[in-house]
Structure 1
Amino acid sequence: MNPMADINGNLASAMNHLFNFPENIEKLMFSDRSDSKGMTSIPVDILDSPKEYIFYMDVPGLSKTDIQVTVEDERTLVIRSNGKRKREDGEEEGCKYIKLERRASPKFLRKFRLPENSNVSAISAKCENGVLTVIVEKLPPPPKPKTVEVAIS
């Protein structure tokens, strides 16, 4: 047995548990199969820092107006794009492309069930240099219950 495979499997399992991800990646990507037609999966990195969760997604060719970030059902983070990228038309009549290698930006939809300590009212997102960054602040931990000593008479 490969020890690295076990470590990676346990790490993936821990992340799935932390974010309430189903073990099956297909269930994670799309909640409704009918919504998934023509959509693609965009890889995501999720960083767990002491004060926030940070999601990083590469979205080349898309601007911030092409992407929607919402929260559904109280704790489901939804990131989607309609995948529209315009091709530059030739400025002069009679221009045509000789080669087209860059694919149009894909439509995508990703859903993440956020942990209970996520502050869904304090989510921010920015799109710079082809990278979408979504920051979900964590709620402060609940105060520890105080122990009150009662004198026995």
Structure 2
Amino acid sequence: MAPLSPLFVLRRLLGNERWRRLHVKAAAGAGMAFVLVLLLGSWIIVPYEARAPRATITSFPLALWWSVETATTVGYGDLYPVTVPGRVIACVVMLVGISVFSVVTASLATWLVGSAAHRARRAAAALGHVEREGRADAARELRALHERFDRLEHLLARSHGHGNGHGPTEDGG
């Protein structure tokens, strides 16, 4: 299969672990339902509208264009249903279009928020690691300072005891 064919791209996307998540599946399912409703709505509306007086949707290609502009809520006004069944079909196409765009928007937002949350968790873990290392370094430094002060106190105590007449001196006196 060619690397640029739609089926190849679809398989690569759906085979990827990131694309297996629920929100992506929902967006993909909504997209497929969207295409199905566009095609079915276009196919079903033509028999109702083509026979009606003042009809603007008289063929499948026109109906397909009408369903796309209706589902995307563009509605140029060049094509519109004039029969009651055509208007019911229009309502279904509009609701599906709005719903699909909502699901895709929510999926995109979920992906963006999930990516940001993942980066934040990684940063927090790195910060925690740095903090633990910093505390361990500070504890080592503090122990080293305590040892130095203990040695200094010991040396001061020894020299204080030797040179002030309170204890034996170096010359034995």
Shared fold, TM over 0.5:
no
Relative to its length, the structure with more helix (as a share) is 2
| Structure with the greater alpha carbon radius of gyration | 2
